[in-house]
Amino acid sequence: MLLGPPGSGKGTLATSLSEHLGVAVFVTGDALRAAIDAKSKLGEKVKADVEAGRLVDDETILALAQGFLAAHPEGVLFDGFPRTIRQAAGLRSLVSAEDDLHVIYLDASEETITSRLTSRRVCPGCGEIYNMRFKPPKKDGVCDNCGTTLIRRKDDTEEVIRDRYQVYLRETAPLVDYFARELLRVDGNLSGDKVLERIRGELCPA
Ligand SMILES: [Zn+2]
């Protein structure tokens, strides 16, 4: 599983790591949407919560994670789950003793995160994500794929980022201690390539 503050690069890492390891990625938001689309009993409950603006409870999210794990016996990469100690305890109980649980902690400073997220731009046309510092478009302010003018997401402002970071510190940061035994700490201030290199060296020694 991948652990780290918002903007530490979990999403990008999840994509490259899942390709490298040949495992499926579980992202809570995607799993919630899939459950709604499947119109399962769990999906109906999720739909009701989402429509009422309620937070989906830990038990429901755990049930989705359990179903995903059962459907992918070759292994799963959890991105942004578990988010709370309660979810973490649930995940531990799902992983049997002979299975390996690896926790990769992307340790990035608040400064790094803020500068990354405020320089992020998205294409409203095709969904491509750019970063004005690390991955700028070829032509200033315009999408390489489709030529649409890039925008800044409204939750990529410093104020929103600071709030999300505070929520992370309160709810998710305690997981670093909780998983102390399984933890592989990686410097999330490094570039994505360097991070991947480090993890591959640790998890797949040649
Ligand atoms: Zn585009």
- Taking only the tens place, the pLDDT of each residue in 40-80 is 999 999 999 989 988 899 999 999 999 999 999 889 999 98
Report pLDDT for 192. Answer: 81
Q: Measure Cα distances from 6 to 47, 68, 105, 146 in Å.
A: 25, 23, 12, 28
Q: Can you read off the two tokens belonging to residue 177?
A: 């201690």
- Pick the residue with more confidence: 159 or 134? 159
| Ligand 1: centre distance to CA 95 (Å) | 40
Q: Does residue 205 lie within any of the structural domains?
A: no
Cβ(113)–Cβ(165) under 8 Å? yes
Domain membership flag for residue 201: no
Residue 9 lies in a domain: yes
> Is residue 98's pLDDT more than 60?
no
Nearest-10 crossing angle of helices 110-118, 158-167: 140
* CA–centroid distance, residue 93 to ligand 1 (Å): 42
Q: Is the peptide bond before 73 cis (omega within 30 degrees of 0)?
A: no
- Model confidence at 201, pLDDT cuts 50, 70, 90, reads confident
* pTM exceeds 0.75: yes
Instruction: Evaluate whether residue 169 is within a structural domain.
Output: yes
For residue 9, how far is its CA from the centre of ligand 1 (angstroms)?
21
The owner of tokens 């478009």 is 137
pLDDT surpasses 70 at 99: no
What pLDDT, on the 0 to 100 scale, is given for residue 205?
A: 63
Give domain status of residue 13, yes or no: yes
Percent of the chain with pLDDT over 90: 60
Res. 25 pLDDT band, cuts 50 70 90: very high
Distance 25 CA to ligand 1 centre (A): 24
Q: What is the CA radius of gyration of the chain?
A: 18
How far is 5 from 173, CA to CA, in rounded Å? 8
Q: What is the CATH number of the domain that holds 181?
A: 3.40.50.300
Looking at the predicted structure, is the pLDDT value of residue 155 above 90? no
Query: What pLDDT shows up at residue 86?
Result: 93
- The total number of structural domains in the chain stands at 1
Contacts of 124 (CB under 8 A, 6+ apart): 148, 149, 151
152 is catalytic: no
Domain span including residue 167: 2-196
pLDDT (tens digit per residue) in 35-48: 999 999 999 999 99
How many angstroms is it from 98 CA to the middle of ligand 1?
45
Q: What is the mean pLDDT of residues 88-115?
A: 87
Q: What is the mean pLDDT of the chain?
A: 90
pLDDT at 97 over 70: no
The H-assigned helical ranges of 52-191 are 58-71, 85-94, 110-118, 158-167, 175-178
Residue 17: inside a domain, yes or no? yes
Active site residue 120: yes
Whole-angstrom Cα distance, residue 148 to residue 96?
48
100: in domain: yes
- Stated as kind and residue range, the H or E segment containing 24 is strand 24-27
Residues with beta carbon < 5 A to ion ligand 1? 123, 125-126, 128, 143, 145-146, 148
What one-letter code names the amino acid at 69?
A: L
Question: In this structure, is residue 204 part of a structural domain?
Answer: no
